Amino acid sequence: MPILLIHGPNLSQLGHRDPAVYGTATLAEVVDTVRAVLPDVADYDSEREGDLVQRLHAARTDGTTAVIVNPGALSHYSYALRDALEQLDVPKVEVHLSQVHARERFRHHSVVSAVCHVTITGAGLFGYRLAAEAAVHLLEDRSQAFQAVTPPD
């Protein structure tokens, strides 16, 4: 039952990138944090929106049972990523390392949140453990998971 962990632009730079905001863990360490809860997690990252969209299309038929996604800055403006996530009929968990609501105004809104069942923001690396556990919880209680998604405006 593979769960897909997917990262968008600039998250490959974790460890070097603004450690006061994002912490010092590398992307590999982030993946290991999820793997500690979900040993079979499949991970994918790309700097390119289209690649992320295509990976989500593939997830529809490759047995993916849930998605954990940190889209990076695409969270704030990518309707393409949002639409790709919407098409996937599995539990979806959005995660951000930083507390986006305490940062620049453009980070306060995520266009993907409305098509994800859970959003975790500001818990740093620990947020990924929460995200993994949320994915397991949503898989165990699908009825609750699907009530949580509200139709977008």
Active site residue 108: no
Catalytic residue chosen out of the listed positions 7, 22, 117, 128 = 22
Catalytic residue chosen out of the listed positions 44, 76, 96, 109 = 96
Residue 60 or 121: the one with the smaller Cβ distance to ligand DQA is 121
CB of 55 to ligand DQA, least distance (A): 17
Active site residue 96: yes
Q: What is the DSSP letter of 136?
A: H
Residue among 99, 102, 45 at smallest CA distance from 74:
45
Residue 1 or 20: the one with the smaller Cβ distance to ligand DQA is 20
Question: Footprint of ligand DQA on this chain (CB under 6 A)?
Answer: 10-11, 70, 72-73, 75, 96-98, 100, 107
Catalytic center residues = 22, 96
